[in-house]
Chains A and B, each alone.
Chain A
Amino acid sequence: MTEPVLALTGISRSFGALRANDDISLTLRAGEIHALIGPNGAGKSTLIQQIAGALKPDRGRITFLGRDITGLSTASRARLGLARTFQISALAMEHTVLQNAVLGALGYSGRVFRFFRPVMDDPALVEPARAALARTGLADLAHQRTGALSHGQRRQLEVAIALTLEPRAFLMDEPMAGMGADGSRMLTDFLRTLSRDAPILLVEHDMDAVFALADRISVLDYGRVIATGSVDEIRAHPEVRRAYLGGEGVG
């Protein structure tokens, strides 16, 4: 089997007496959508933050494309092509939609310290930014102020910015949150297309979306991975049903 794109080995992280993550190991393989589910407080956010580089693990190792990134900053991870979208949209609200996308292309290019040339006239940055907006259906809104976007459009912009990083893996924190039923369905289709670009590690509460999309699912409970497997395996897993699904039948 080929080496996984992203691999977590024995990740542990505590906050005082609280063990938020306890010896977590999981992988993200090329081409797959791997969903991370679990009840509130199971440690999903803590784990995402450690993968993205916003938190340092107490123990354990994270490798990305065969390279140990445990000690790298968020910015360095992003430049390697680890593209994260946020649960609550994190955008430059005063900028235009296009400027936000150009910011992504700029960060990825690493050529931040250019002081004279107007950045919005630089085709090397504006073209990939426009292409990303076109793919996410935001091309017509390029010159709109970001603060004026609807909730769904902001989610699309999050994805567009991730696309400007020429991503090798996506890290998506509840992309469906706050989307209506139609929006969720559209986004579900879109994420499936997107996973052909790069594998997606998906944290999601919307079970319909997870079961429709995921190739594999890992279940977190009390900071530990209690099960990893295919959709059918997870549906049938007794411990998962007890811990997470409350014993009710699923699907």
Chain B
Amino acid sequence: MIAERWLNAALYLALLAVPLAAWALDEPFVITLATKIAILAIAGVGLNLALGLGGLVSLGHAAFFGIGGYAMGILASHAQSYTPLMQSPFLIEGTKSMPVIWLVAIVVSAAAALVIGALSLRTTGVYFIMVTLAFGQMLFFFAISWPAYGGEDGLSIYVRNGFPGLNTLDPIQFFAIAFVILSLVLILVSRLSRSAFGLALDGARQNVARAETVGINPFRVRLVAFTISGAITGLAGALFADLNRFVSPSMFSWQTSGEIMIFVILGGVARLYGPLAGAMLFILLEHFLGGISEFWHIYLGLVLLGVVLFARGGLIGTLSRAAAPHD
């Protein structure tokens, strides 16, 4: 386990050091890649809370990623066109302020996760997978068919939203925002997994009859975990939309759900830093394989197959086992 701790620290520091070096060398593209990794890692950490600790195989987390993205898109588009979101019964204006957008993204995606979770958690196992996938698809089709915010074409935001005291258009400053949020989310989930709630959630995953028999209601514990998980992934969606200054229904697509799950798996399920390792690996694969072949998804698929069939601890599990053979 000591080896894993060192590996985590190395990954975390690499994510900080590479963009700093790129900043010194004036390579903004590398900074943007690192920012993307940090944001996708946040989404993965969110999913990992439900998937790794709670054992809830959600194939619909794109729903929350997309909701976060559209929270940003809708608020910012109203702000940039100076039209209020709503006039009656009370006035709601758009905003270009990141903290406000984040708050809205968190609240709305948490509410959606609460509703979707309450329905999906009536089922378990393979039903749960299919139901979460279906609810994700429902929001995808809704986003396509609702014309007010761009429908199929999505929504462009011309200027990145603001954060008090920072110039968010400067890549390194926006990276700093994403990195700090990732750090906070990692601390939060780390505390959570060692808390009373984390023990109950993990216990219910390992043996649901045991949890019930000591007086724990597994449905409630899982629903709360699913809601927090959705809220974190929603926050990542808002940041991702700000990174691209664009939102589209593809944020809601089943491929997005699958990719968020890939971050978690490539890195190692139920490992706190797994999604960070997975997002790094994914973006690097996308960047390098994508440079070699336009059909790079074939190679991604083969890598994923290999990890699932042969390297079940993911990147962190495999590397920390290699580094600590006596573990």
CB proximity of A226 to chain B, nearest CB, Å: 29
Q: Judging by beta carbons under 8 Å apart, are A74 and B212 in contact? A: yes
For window 66-121 of A, CB contacts with B under 8 Å fall at 73-76, 78-79, 83-84, 86, 90-95, 99-100, 102-104, 106-108, 110-120
Which of A75, A116, A164 is in CB contact (< 8 Å) with B217? A75
Please tell me if B291 contacts chain A, counting CB pairs below 8 Å: no
Which of B194, B197, B212, B215 is in CB contact (< 8 Å) with A113? B197
B contact residues around A164 at 8 Å (CB) = 214
Closest to B209 in A: A90
Closest to A99 in B: B199
B contact residues around A107 at 8 Å (CB) = 200, 211, 214-216
B contact residues around A73 at 8 Å (CB) = 212, 217
CB proximity of A53 to chain B, nearest CB, Å: 8
Please tell me if B207 contacts chain A, counting CB pairs below 8 Å: yes
Given the contacts A102-B199, A106-B196, A112-B221, A92 and B191 also touching, CB distance less than 8 Å: no
Q: Judging by beta carbons under 8 Å apart, are B195 and A165 in contact? A: no
Please tell me if A248 contacts chain B, counting CB pairs below 8 Å: no
Which of B196, B203, B212 is in CB contact (< 8 Å) with A92? B203
Q: How many residues of A contact B (CB 8 A)?
A: 42
| CA gap between A119 and B198 in the complex, in Å | 9
Please tell me if B145 contacts chain A, counting CB pairs below 8 Å: no
A contact residues around B224 at 8 Å (CB) = 113
CB proximity of A239 to chain B, nearest CB, Å: 34
Closest to B200 in A: A112
Q: Is the interface of B mostly helix, strand, loop or mixed?
A: helix
| CA gap between A114 and B203 in the complex, in Å | 15
Please tell me if B242 contacts chain A, counting CB pairs below 8 Å: no
Please tell me if A52 contacts chain B, counting CB pairs below 8 Å: yes
A contact residues around B195 at 8 Å (CB) = 114-119
Q: Judging by beta carbons under 8 Å apart, are A108 and B214 in contact? A: yes
Please tell me if A33 contacts chain B, counting CB pairs below 8 Å: no
| CA gap between A161 and B213 in the complex, in Å | 10
Given the contacts A93-B206, A103-B203, A122 and B212 also touching, CB distance less than 8 Å: no
| CA gap between A75 and B222 in the complex, in Å | 14
A contact residues around B210 at 8 Å (CB) = 90-92, 100, 103, 161
Closest to A119 in B: B196
Which of A95, A106, A111, A122 is in CB contact (< 8 Å) with B214? A106
Most A C-beta atoms less than 10 A away, residue of B199, B214, B221: B214
Please tell me if A125 contacts chain B, counting CB pairs below 8 Å: yes
CB proximity of B86 to chain A, nearest CB, Å: 33
CB proximity of B137 to chain A, nearest CB, Å: 31
Given the contacts A86-B209, A106-B216, A120 and B194 also touching, CB distance less than 8 Å: yes
Contact digits for A153-197, partner B, Cβ 8 Å, 1 yes 0 no:
000000001001100000000000000000000000000000000
CB proximity of B151 to chain A, nearest CB, Å: 39
Please tell me if B103 contacts chain A, counting CB pairs below 8 Å: no
Q: Judging by beta carbons under 8 Å apart, are B209 and A125 in contact? A: no
Closest to B198 in A: A119
Given the contacts A93-B206, A113-B224, A119 and B199 also touching, CB distance less than 8 Å: yes
Q: Judging by beta carbons under 8 Å apart, are B200 and A103 in contact? A: yes
CB proximity of A42 to chain B, nearest CB, Å: 22
B contact residues around A112 at 8 Å (CB) = 196-197, 200, 216-217, 220-221
Given the contacts A92-B207, A93-B206, A95-B203, A78 and B213 also touching, CB distance less than 8 Å: yes
| CA gap between A103 and B192 in the complex, in Å | 15
B contact residues around A53 at 8 Å (CB) = 212
Given the contacts A99-B199, A114-B197, A165 and B206 also touching, CB distance less than 8 Å: no
Pick 11 A–B contacts, CB within 8 A, sort by A: A54-B209, A74-B213, A90-B210, A103-B199, A106-B216, A108-B214, A108-B215, A112-B216, A115-B191, A122-B196, A125-B196
**A53-B212, A54-B212, A112-B200 provided; 19 other pairs, C-beta below 8 A?**
A52-B213, A73-B217, A74-B212, A74-B213, A79-B215, A84-B213, A91-B207, A92-B210, A100-B210, A107-B211, A107-B215, A112-B197, A115-B191, A116-B191, A118-B191, A119-B194, A120-B194, A125-B196, A165-B215
